[in-house]
Structure 1
Amino acid sequence: MSRRSAHSGPALLLRHLAAHPAGGLTVAVLVILLSALAAAAPRAVEAMHTRSLDYAVSALEPAQRDVTGGAIGVPNPGAGGTSGPDALPSESRAAWGGFNDRVVALHDSLPSPLREATGRPQYFLSQDSLPITRIGDENYGELALAYDPRASDHVRYIDGSPPSETDDDVVEIGLATANADILSWGVGEIRQVQADRGETYSARLSGVFEPVDPDDDYWSHAPLLLEPSLVQEPLGPPVYTVTGLVDSSELPALAVSPTAVRVEVWFPLDPDAVTQADAPELVEQLRRLESAPPTVVMTRNEFFDSMLSFSAGPADTIEDTLTTDAAVDAVLAMTASGPLGVMIAVLLLGCRMISGRRADALRLLAARGASGGTLRGLMAIEGLVIGVPAAIVGSIVGILVTTGPVTAGALLLPVLLGLLPAVLLALPAPDLRRGERDDLDGASRASGRARIIVELVVVGLAAVATFALVQRGLTTAAAASGIDPLLAAAPLLLALAVCVAALRIYPVPLAWLARRSHGRRGLSAYLGPVRALRDPATGLAPVLALVVGVAVAVSSGVLLTTIRSGIDDAAVTAVGADLRVKGTPLTTEQVEAIGAVPGVADAAAVSGANSALIDVDGRRTNTSIIVVDTDALGRVQGDAPGAIPVGAALRADGDSVPIVASGATTAAVGTSTDATLDGEPITIVATVDGSTALSTRANWAVVDSRFADRVGVVNPVTHVMLLRLEPGADLEATRAAVQAVAGDAATVDTPADSAAVLASTPAAAGLQSALLIAIAVTALLSALTIAMTLVLGGPARARILVLLRMLGGGRREARTLAVWEIAPMAVVALVFGAALGIGLPLVILAGVDLRGFTGGRLQPALAVDPLLTLALVLGFALVTALCTFIALFASGRARASSILRTVEA
């Protein structure tokens, strides 16, 4: 290389950057890590929201999930011309073709994204059931008829043949194997169907079928085609209702049917097609379809026609999931705002390291005539060389480890992180002073007034933000409007306010220690606190980083404990006892046998929800009567979370029947004092909002068993049993014994089962993972802060240690000085950070609805795990001690000659 090229601008710049590379490499590594996290976080959150939607929508039964419409009436018969995948089988086109054309056109007219999220239209028609008999026998169940022009796609006949149109008065039907078996109906056998006004018609079983695909969502819309329904009257024999398929060409005859005819149309909804981006618009389109459905006219026996009406399907579920996702975003924004400030503070410390290494070169350039702008430009170029490539590498890593589309918004923060080193290095004028004492600087004293103003503004903003959040209460508006800036900024403002308090308070004990140690023997006992006061390694950046680091770690631990505690309480509320038996009617013998199982201390039998009407001043509302022995229920539930209030008022005799009502039932009654249940006056003695272990319905009323007959419940059938176990009982062995008595059709679950399901939901699991990541990231940032602070104070510390050794000081004084350098900052971080960490969840609980994570009906209460909190604080202390030890080791290796050469005379 020629002498000219060696002294060119680019060559000198490269030599400048290559000198003292440690600071630049540190900042580059930090930018890579932060950029990777910044690029991955939005994509990971978006993927979590999509999983939440898929989880919630997939958990619905297809009949609840699909976009379903129905009407009472018969489609107008007529041929149609739809071709392709929506075409009907040739034998059904003559009667159903016109209706099929209208339904297909209706689906094609749906707006996007609803149209793309739903599949090919399906439909079938059914009649109300009528009693059937064997010839010459008494009533033997009931038969409903169903018509499906695509029946051949769903069933295959294993005995006999499909029903066909007949010329006589006999109607041919096809039955599923289970339905034919329960009625002992053989192929070819004719039975009588009793219509209205004493009329009958004959039905012949033409064939027995089985499903082509038993797992097809189709069977959720037509479950009675496969299995009978059972009505068990307390004093009568069981009554089975079955549904049989009829030849679809019989459609024109239904216009004069003696029973109600209903048509159901549905568009299958694909859960994978419901994305976070499209979900709000999808909900709006579902609501619009429900309120103003397209016109598809049906013929009725009356003088007027009817039209299809659609339900909103999964709209409520999607809205609830969006609300929960908004709460996730709010918690993550509040949790991330503090670390975001720490990131800037740590980068500032890294840039101070670089500036310190470049100080001599900058002084030389200034002495040779370089202006302040030139010096700033040089530092900005170095910041760009360090930050931009590091941000690019970090962004690529973050994108590779996550899934989903790459959006401009996801790359905004990495871009800013890449530019931030240049801004931090170039923004302040390079400090060209050397060897001057900051504590004796008159300009520093003159800035006291400005500092007070800034501190008052920070504290005021923190107070206003916190007060506004507490006064506003819980909000779910973020589901529609995005992250609330007030929620997101409050933690960072509180952290800054705490830092202001810390920086104002911690010099007071240091000054007291300096005065106390003035007359003691040993130089380090006095020099330590004095140096910490006059030449502190601390400042806003390291104090902010350390206080927020401890606060985020502690608050994340508290939030984890709070959410898990809320999940546990919600699980106990959902199950209601140590064990719950549900899912099938239980006989009296089974109830007694379950109560006698070894390990069961007490049992409460709960009747099935019997439908009844509440009359409120002439307005009638459906509700479900739940009959329980309130004494037994009180013993089983005790004071567990969500226990039904079964005090003496529920057993009090009087003119009216006392009940415990759900929130929906209480709302229906309102302030009326004349409400009746099945004609009997009632008094609501307590209200329970939300779900309960006794019923999954919204409207219900709990009645003590002694009043059951007064509200029309005679011989109630047990459908749920709540069990309290003996102390020390083997849970799994007891559950297995209860399951053996209850039978395979019953479900025996525990609060742990329910808690595992709640904790595994994508929203709850994702939030817990995010909080754990926040703890890890802030721990890393705190370690880097301590290391950088010690590195920044390294030259001054090394000079003092060398001078002390020359004056006869030993290693003890060296260790003491290093401890005094970092100890005040660490103690401040531990005390103020831990207090802030416990207080931040209170702010979050005041402004964010966490019930979507816990599954409970109440906002979870703050729960602090002392062991976890202590472990986090001790972990921080351990990191501090380790970094201090490393700094001591490095300082102890400093050579006196090299240090003293840097000290000016």
Structure 2
Amino acid sequence: MTLRLVRKEARGDLPLLACLAVLVLVLAGMCAWAPSLAGRQEDRALRQRVAAAQAGAPLITLSTVPEVFNSGPPALDMATLLGDGRTLSHRLSGSAARHLSFAGSGGYDYNPATLTSPLPPGETGSSTTLAISHLPDARAHLRYVSGHAPADRTPIGAAPQIGLSQATAQALGVRTGSRLGVEFARVPALQRSPDARLVVSGIFRTAAGADDFWGNRPSLVQPSRHPAQHAGGTVLAVSGLVGTDAADRLAAAGVPGPSVTWQLRADLRQSALDRARALSGPLSRYGTDLDRALCRGTDAYTGGESCAVGSQHTGPLTVTDALTPLVGTFTAQDHQARGLATFAVDALAAVALATTAVAVRLLLRRRKAHLRLQRARGASTARLVLLRSAVAWPVVVIAALLGWAGGRLLAPTGVSGTPRPLSAAVLAATAALTVSLLTWLAVREPPRPRRTARRRRTRRPVAGRRRVVVEVTVLLAAAAGVAALRSQGPDWVLGAVPVLLALATVLILLRLYPLALRLLLLRARRGKGTVGFIGAARAAHDAPATGLALFVLVLTLGTAVFGGLVQRTIGDGLAAGAAWSTGADASATTAGDTAPAPDALTGTSGIRTALQHLHALDLVGQADGAEIPSVAVITVEPRQLAALAPHSPLARTLRSALTGPAGTTAGAGVPLPSVVSPALRARERTGGFTSTVEDHGRPPVQLALDPVGTLSAADLRDPLLGPITAQLAPGTPLLITAASADHLMPQQSSGTTVLLLQGDGPGTSTAALRSAAARALGPLATVRTRSGTLSALRDDGLTRGLENVYATASVLAALSGLLAVALELILTSHERSRTTSFLRTLGLSGKAAGALHFLQMLPLAAAAAVGGTLVGVVEPRLMAPTLNLRQFTGGATQPALRTDYALTLALVGGVVLLILVAAATETVLARRRRLGAVLRLG
């Protein structure tokens, strides 16, 4: 075998070798480009979630309280402390110190203090609280319209300076130069409440476009009013900005140290997911490392651990790490998304390799006569296989290298995803070995038959038994793959299960639809026409020969239908997830047992509200006296819920169970009707419950709770429970009772208050909902709107990435499948044309010949449509136990699987149209043949 012979063989196979090269080039390029592209999408999704989380609060903070009473006169040097705090990052281990940086120079906050003077104009029966903060980053987001910013260095003995917003200054009736009297909480060491005087140095206005910054601290911009926690009246809450040394002056006045906070920012600009994972380990040890290095002994004043940041004595250092849990949740969702994406990727690889096999078969068919001649001249099987391999393997290697280089060139850099050279090598080697294997099957010497009389009779049964063994093996492998998927979920190995399912479906179809065609033949024989009979007979005879084309069509169609089902399920589940997260058009959540003023709930027309209080109580069963700790007790007003959501099953259940007759009053000795969860009912099957609620300085309150109903599964999934059950751990026993229980229990700082807000129509604006929520629960309430939540869910990077993967894979698989079907039809067209030519010589008309072509191809189209649809619809339902799409939609339960029937019909129509177009093309080419060509073909 010489190089000249190889070049001669290659020139004759150029079209099909080019087809093989394109397939390998695309596969190798995808292995280099797709992982990096997916990694960029993951990084973008993680940065998106980090940005959304940091909009409410920093993800990583380091805080401590300086000890100002650990020496004779209280001493505090805040400027030095803030500067020394930036050296704390040196305690981070590994590469975390390079990926974390301090945001700004640090700041501090005092607890809200009582403003004693001046009193706000026109205020009676209310109090005013002033929160003092040092926030250096705020200077870039405001502009002083009067006076100047608080000085970072003021003369000793001078009053600390404070800056107020225009709205705050107007509410307090002050201006630049005014003095504020502030009384702080009592200090145990001084046995009195320290007070101080602050001077207003300037009045500022927020800069345009700074809403995102001030969203974390809205009270600095706009004062707010909310109900008092333990007394009547309202509280006017205001905030102000102070300079660096304001803490020093306040410490000299006897005010204890503020909470000093340094914010750490993770550098996630490049390789966000990889960097976030690398930070998890050092962050988990960060607090322990700081305590070990900086904390020694016990402070005599507080009795707690004494630490030192630079030269300043402080309390224990607290590291708040919200990044690691966020990354853990994201990783779990990303793992599910990757598992779903492997179905599309593996299907694309299978279709491409099937197309490769069809191209090689067509190449060998074109070389059939030449191979016979070479065989007759004495060429061995090994020589022929090596000759074909020597022609094809260099093409495969060069195409793989070019595809890999092109994919690396187009792949984005600085992302978490890494190219897959091993996958590219495996795919290229599979394509190359396919050439050698199919060549060997085509040119191998048939086994010499034994000289026995029974050999001819046993040949066909042996081949049939081999086919049965192969089919049973494929069916068992598909069943085992489905069982593995149902038990552990998808991964890069089990992603090939849909390919096995498609192959098993094709094998079943190849058994069934020829049988159905033969049944049709029994009826066609009795008819007068011959076209239908011959078309059905040829379709039944050619069924095994078109098996590879059927496999490609079924797999491509099934993957596209599966992708449409996933996208439709997620799309429909997003609305339910947003409704579950907010409970209504909007929800406001605040810590503690807050009782808004009645006019705060009814002051906005066009908005209906319902209040829910969550308490954690220890219950005692009346029947057996068993204690049930940490029961979630929710108090609601059933009529409010029914007015807010008239069609809610939970509202109907609570209204019928908790609404007593008119004139009934609740008292400590009167059992309160309640509705319990099935888990709580199982703990106490017959009797009621009692609970003792204690409040410092007051006698304990005894509550009696009488269960009158059990929550159904539909009640537990009702969106009205979504915002409040988000505060509970899974499996927490639940009890719902009437709001009259709130009047029996003292107000407490523990628990949660949730306010549901529903607009009377679609015209209710988001701003109106937020304003009503802030007026009812105060400025510290967390407000979520349904429209905003739904928009955030739809824009989630993982969801969009999954849609892009299925769309891209489906398009590429469709193009590859189109090529495979075209090559397969070319490969089998000789037999169909030969049959048609015989009939044409016997007088068959051109129209009848065209009808014959359509009848021969129609069963293939029908089988592909049925098989692909079944694979796409049944496959996700087989793996439903591990197909966790709730991670993308939220909500109480897994969203119901919904087939996109419009997309399915369009795909089925496309497959049928493709095959019919091929039949029409073949008919047109047959009509152009002259009689001589027809006779030669016959």
Q: TM-score range by the shorter chain?
A: 0.7 to 0.9
Deviation at 1:838, TM superposition (A): 0.7
Deviation at 1:240, TM superposition (A): 2.3
Q: 1:736 to 1:151 in 2, by over 3 A?
A: closer
Partner of 2:802: 767
Q: Which amino acid in 1 is paired with 2:442?
A: D
Q: Which amino acid in 2 is paired with 1:614?
A: L
Which SS does the other structure have where 2:482 is aligned?
helix
Cα distance per residue 1:342-386 (max 9 Å; x no partner): 222222111111111111221222222221112112222332344
Match of 1:280 among 274, 277, 287: 277
Partner of 2:318: 309
Q: Superposition pairs for residues 149-188 of structure 1, below 5 Å?
A: 158-159=146-147, 162-163=150-151, 164-168=153-157, 170-188=159-177
- Unaligned 5+ residue runs, structure 1? 1-7, 79-92, 435-439, 598-602, 726-730
Identity %: 22
Partner of 1:17: 10
Deviation at 1:217, TM superposition (A): 8.3
Cα distance per residue 1:806-851 (max 9 Å; x no partner): 2212224422442343333222222222122111121343223211
Distance in 1 (CA, whole Å) between partners of 2:471 and 2:36 is: 37
| Deviating more after overlay: 199-208 vs 556-565 | 199-208
Q: Which amino acid in 1 is paired with 2:174?
A: W
Q: 1:77 to 1:875 in 2, by over 3 A?
A: farther
Which SS does the other structure have where 1:446 is aligned?
helix
Cα distance per residue 1:232-263 (max 9 Å; x no partner): 33841433243452552754973884546422
Q: Which amino acid in 1 is paired with 2:434?
A: L
Partner of 2:531: 524
Distance in 2 (CA, whole Å) between partners of 1:18 and 1:526 is: 43
Which SS does the other structure have where 1:814 is aligned?
helix
Q: Superposition pairs for residues 120-135 of structure 1, below 5 Å?
A: 120=102, 122-134=105-117
Q: 1:505 to 1:225 in 2, by over 3 A?
A: same
Partner of 2:485: 469
2:853 pairs with 1:818: yes
Which SS does the other structure have where 2:266 is aligned?
coil
Q: Superposition pairs for residues 13-412 of structure 1, below 5 Å?
A: 13-19=6-12, 21-61=14-54, 64-74=57-67, 95-96=77-78, 99-100=81-82, 102-120=84-102, 122-134=105-117, 141-146=128-133, 158-159=146-147, 162-163=150-151, 164-168=153-157, 170-195=159-184, 196=186, 197=191, 201-208=195-202, 210=204, 215=210, 228=223, 230-233=225-228, 235-245=232-242, 247-248=244-245, 251=248, 254=251, 257-259=254-256, 261-272=258-269, 275-289=272-286, 293-294=290-291, 295-297=293-295, 301-304=301-304, 305=306, 306-395=315-404, 398-399=407-408, 402-404=411-413, 409-412=419-422
Match of 2:467 among 440, 451, 472: 451
Q: Is contact 2:536-2:855 (8 Å) kept? A: yes
Q: 1:656 to 1:743 in 2, by over 3 A?
A: closer
Partner of 1:646: 654
Distance in 2 (CA, whole Å) between partners of 1:672 and 1:37 is: 64
Q: Which amino acid in 2 is paired with 1:795?
A: H
- Across the two proteins, how many residue pairs are aligned to each other? 853
Distance in 2 (CA, whole Å) between partners of 1:309 and 1:663 is: 40
- Unaligned 5+ residue runs, structure 2? 307-314, 446-455, 621-626, 695-700, 729-733, 777-781
Deviation at 1:60, TM superposition (A): 1.2
Partner of 1:82: none
2:905 pairs with 1:866: no
Which SS does the other structure have where 2:53 is aligned?
coil
Distance in 2 (CA, whole Å) between partners of 1:59 and 1:629 is: 33
Q: Which amino acid in 2 is paired with 1:353?
A: L
Distance in 2 (CA, whole Å) between partners of 1:48 and 1:788 is: 36
Which SS does the other structure have where 1:506 is aligned?
helix
Match of 1:614 among 584, 609, 617: 617
Deviation at 1:329, TM superposition (A): 0.4
Q: Is contact 1:661-1:688 (8 Å) kept? A: no
Which SS does the other structure have where 1:447 is aligned?
helix
Which SS does the other structure have where 1:538 is aligned?
helix
Deviation at 1:198, TM superposition (A): 5.3
Which SS does the other structure have where 1:431 is aligned?
helix
Distance in 2 (CA, whole Å) between partners of 1:349 and 1:548 is: 15
Deviation at 1:423, TM superposition (A): 1.5
**Which TM-score applies when normalising by structure 2?**
0.78
Which SS does the other structure have where 1:42 is aligned?
helix
Deviation at 1:533, TM superposition (A): 3.7
Deviation at 1:744, TM superposition (A): 11
Deviation at 1:791, TM superposition (A): 0.3
Q: Which amino acid in 2 is paired with 1:882?
A: V
Deviation at 1:415, TM superposition (A): 3.9
CA RMSD of aligned residues (A): 4.7
Q: 1:303 to 1:508 in 2, by over 3 A?
A: closer
Q: Which amino acid in 2 is paired with 1:162?
A: P
Q: Is contact 2:613-2:634 (8 Å) kept? A: yes
2:432 pairs with 1:422: yes
Which SS does the other structure have where 1:272 is aligned?
coil
Match of 2:556 among 544, 549, 553: 549
**Which TM-score applies when normalising by structure 1?**
0.81
Q: Is contact 1:228-1:241 (8 Å) kept? A: yes
Cα distance per residue 1:702-734 (max 9 Å; x no partner): 6544444234479x9995422465xxxxx34x6
Q: 1:219 to 1:460 in 2, by over 3 A?
A: same
Q: Which amino acid in 2 is paired with 1:232?
A: P
Q: Which amino acid in 2 is paired with 1:500?
A: L
Q: Is contact 1:662-1:698 (8 Å) kept? A: no
Q: 1:669 to 1:59 in 2, by over 3 A?
A: farther
Q: Which amino acid in 1 is paired with 2:245?
A: S
Q: 1:697 to 1:341 in 2, by over 3 A?
A: closer
Distance in 1 (CA, whole Å) between partners of 2:677 and 2:147 is: 50
Deviation at 1:208, TM superposition (A): 2.0
Partner of 2:520: 513
Q: Which amino acid in 2 is paired with 1:28?
A: A
Match of 1:630 among 638, 657, 669: 638
| Deviating more after overlay: 216-225 vs 368-377 | 216-225
Deviation at 1:769, TM superposition (A): 2.6
Partner of 1:4: none
Deviation at 1:267, TM superposition (A): 1.1
Q: Superposition pairs for residues 655-670 of structure 1, below 5 Å?
A: 655-657=670-672
Q: Is contact 1:290-1:310 (8 Å) kept? A: yes
Distance in 2 (CA, whole Å) between partners of 1:582 and 1:58 is: 21
Q: Which amino acid in 2 is paired with 1:231?
A: H
Q: Is contact 1:613-1:677 (8 Å) kept? A: no
